Amino acid sequence: MYLIGNGRLVTRDAANPYLDNGCVAIEGNLIAAVGATEAMKARYPDAAFIDAKGGVIMPGFINAHNHIYSAFARGLTIKGNNPTNFLEVLDQQWWTIDRHLLLADTRASADATYLDCILNGVTTVFDHHASYGEITGSLFAIADSARAFGVRTNLCYEISDRDGEEKMKAAVKENVDFIKYANADTTDMVKGMMGMHAPFTLSNETLEYCAAENPGAGYHIHVAEGIDDLYDSLAKYNKRLIFRLHDMGILGEKTICGHCIYINEAEMDLMKHTNTMAVHNPESNMGNAVGCPPVLKMMEKGILLGLGTDGYTNDMTESYKVANILHKHNACKPNVAWGEIPAMLFENNRAMAARFFDKPIGILQPGAYADVIVLDYDPLTPMTADNINSHVLFGMTGRSVVTTVINGVVKMKDRELIGIDKAAVLAHCREQSADLWKRINAGR
Ligand SMILES: [Zn+2]
């Protein structure tokens, strides 16, 4: 039992949203109680005390879509690479990297990512992995890393026809093996899904094969990330993307569709009808110049739409900040997206996690998992239950996080990592990534 108190407590619990001087009591891996600091100290006089020093105590962030495999792209120059559209970005950049990823690269990429998550207060990560250089064992390597760093995670491998049938089948098997492993795991720290690249690299035969092999998990797939995905579906199947996926049995309450930039209202209605989830990645969409997804309309339709980073960053406040301005800019209306974006980040990501994990996360209330962060933040204007999100949006970044607790375990306290040798992890990553870069550029 220990307490984290003496901070501005943001619970994300509608019944008790904010306390000026609040405290969380943690017993094992769960939150035991939430209340005023002095009252909690009196109630648990023998408990150890982590002092938030007047900062903000809140639930750890959840990233609903990430790509560990992209970690070593930072600073990489691929000779001859100059993509002029999204398909060229995939082919010249991401598929080139993932075809060279061996298990050691995947493991080090995961170490780098989970370390950065702890530093940014991200306590749960939904990852979408591709390493066509070495498929088998890749999700297990990532899970080993997640356990070593103590980060809660949901993993899948990106099935695709792009490297031929043998590799497609190996990718399906990696998902199936991992889902079975995760289903048997009782820690509730690791979950598995069936990962899929995108409809335009998946034939109907492959989708049928995936469905036949799937041990009952949901799918995590990119949909309409570029307009070519839609053109491909119309040309080959005479159907829009969401309708094709529905006909192939891919939609449902455990399925996550990433991006959804070129979907129409009928497709949104079908997503809502099937209770299918979606995830928005604003920085990635802007960086790839693929267009602005209709997320305000999707929110209006009541689709469970979360917020991710697509490997662009591990700082969820970046996604919040960029989504906030992207949708104002796109609509030419400065009064929109104030409510929708924080609802995606703080309510919908939590609701998405609840479809996979046994106990609540993303909320500070008794019985929820103790995934808690403390941020160094001293507001320059009054902070109340009604304006919390404005303080997060304009006042905080991932680097404001000073203390990260996941599943009751203190991973970082006052910016000091606990049980993690950051310098050694990063030195190994630099070595591994330099080796990867050499292999990628060999013969180019
Ligand atoms: Zn993605």
- Taking the centre of ligand 1 as the mean of its atom positions, its distance from the CA of residue 306, in whole angstroms, is 13
Cα atoms in the Cβ-side hemisphere of radius 13 Å centred on 394: 9
The pTM of the whole model exceeds 0.85: yes
Task: Give the pLDDT confidence score for residue 269 in this predicted structure.
Answer: 98
- Taking the centre of ligand 1 as the mean of its atom positions, its distance from the CA of residue 380, in whole angstroms, is 37
- Taking the centre of ligand 1 as the mean of its atom positions, its distance from the CA of residue 121, in whole angstroms, is 21
- Taking the centre of ligand 1 as the mean of its atom positions, its distance from the CA of residue 65, in whole angstroms, is 6
Task: Give the pLDDT confidence score for residue 443 in this predicted structure.
Answer: 82
**Cβ(86)–Cβ(259) below 8 Å:** no
- Taking the centre of ligand 1 as the mean of its atom positions, its distance from the CA of residue 285, in whole angstroms, is 10
- DSSP secondary structure string, 108-159? HHHHHHHHHHHHTTEEEEEE-B--TTS-TTHHHHHHHHHHHHT-EEEE-B-B
Q: How far apart are CA 174 and CA 55, in angstroms?
A: 43
> Rg of the chain over CA atoms, in angstroms?
21
Tell me which residue of 105, 96, 118, 95 sits closest to 68, measured CA to CA.
105
Task: Give the pLDDT confidence score for residue 381 in this predicted structure.
Answer: 98
Residues by chain with Cβ below 5 Å of ion ligand 1:
310
**Cβ(119)–Cβ(134) below 8 Å:** no
- Taking the centre of ligand 1 as the mean of its atom positions, its distance from the CA of residue 128, in whole angstroms, is 7
Angle between helices 204-213 and 165-184 (to 10 degrees): 30
Share of the chain above pLDDT 70, in %: 100
Give me the CATH code for the 2-60+362-413 domain, please. 2.30.40.10
- Taking the centre of ligand 1 as the mean of its atom positions, its distance from the CA of residue 421, in whole angstroms, is 29
- Taking the centre of ligand 1 as the mean of its atom positions, its distance from the CA of residue 381, in whole angstroms, is 37
Q: How far apart are CA 97 and CA 133, in angstroms?
A: 9
3-state SS, residue 27: strand
386-419 exposure pattern, b = at least 16 Cβ within 10 A, e = fewer: eebbebbbebbbbebbbbbbbbbebbbbeeebee
Residue ranges, the chain, pLDDT below 50: none
**Cβ(320)–Cβ(309) below 8 Å:** no
| Residues linked to residue 221 through DSSP beta bridges, in sequence order | 196, 257
- Taking the centre of ligand 1 as the mean of its atom positions, its distance from the CA of residue 9, in whole angstroms, is 33
Tell me which residue of 335, 327, 318, 322 sits closest to 299, measured CA to CA.
327
- Taking the centre of ligand 1 as the mean of its atom positions, its distance from the CA of residue 125, in whole angstroms, is 13
Neighbours of 66 (CB within 10 A): 27
Longest Cα pair distance anywhere in the chain, in angstroms? 69
**Cβ(377)–Cβ(398) below 8 Å:** no
Between 3.40.50.970, 1.10.760.10, 3.40.50.1970, 3.20.20.140, what CATH number should domain 61-354 receive?
A: 3.20.20.140
- Taking the centre of ligand 1 as the mean of its atom positions, its distance from the CA of residue 69, in whole angstroms, is 10
- DSSP secondary structure string, 395-432? H--GGGEEEEEETTEEEEETTEESS--HHHHHHHHHHH
In the chain, the amino acid numbered 304 is L
Number of helices (H) and strands (E) in the chain: give both, helices first: 17, 18
- DSSP secondary structure string, 287-325? HTT-----HHHHHHTT--EEE--TTS-S-HHHHHHHHHH
Neighbours of 369 (CB within 10 A): 28
- Taking the centre of ligand 1 as the mean of its atom positions, its distance from the CA of residue 44, in whole angstroms, is 45
Task: Give the pLDDT confidence score for residue 70 in this predicted structure.
Answer: 97
- Taking the centre of ligand 1 as the mean of its atom positions, its distance from the CA of residue 299, in whole angstroms, is 20
- Taking the centre of ligand 1 as the mean of its atom positions, its distance from the CA of residue 26, in whole angstroms, is 34
Tell me which residue of 411, 317, 392, 407 sits closest to 360, measured CA to CA.
407
Q: How far apart are CA 288 and CA 120, in angstroms?
A: 24
Domains of the chain, residue spans: 2-60+362-413, 61-354
